[in-house]
Amino acid sequence: MKAMTSWFASECVRECREQMGAHGYSSYSKLGTLYNDNDINLTWEGDNHVLIQQTTKYVMQQAQKIMQKGQKTNNRLL
């Protein structure tokens, strides 16, 4: 969840800044500050790419366990 929300927030701030053109770079818009403050969230508490890889590995291991239990059950029924 952390990886997805921090990527989404970063993308939103970047998109807003681009849509505002030169005004997006103005200190009055505060988008530069938002962008700089949000940028650290991509690596804070773990890099997003590493977190996604760890989560994927865990989900795949759990799916494999479920499939192995299903195969054992099917073999007993036969």
User: DSSP letter string over 8-25?
Assistant: HHHHHHHHHHHHTGGGGG
Provide the pLDDT confidence category of residue 61 given band limits of 50, 70 and 90.
very high
Give tens-digit pLDDT for 33-58: 888 888 887 787 778 889 899 999 99
pLDDT (tens digit per residue) in 2-36: 888 888 998 998 898 888 887 877 788 888 888 88
Domain boundaries, the chain: 1-46, 48-78
Work out the pLDDT band at 76, boundaries 50, 70, 90.
low
Looking at residue 60, what is its pLDDT? 97
**Gap between the terminal Cα atoms of the chain:** 42
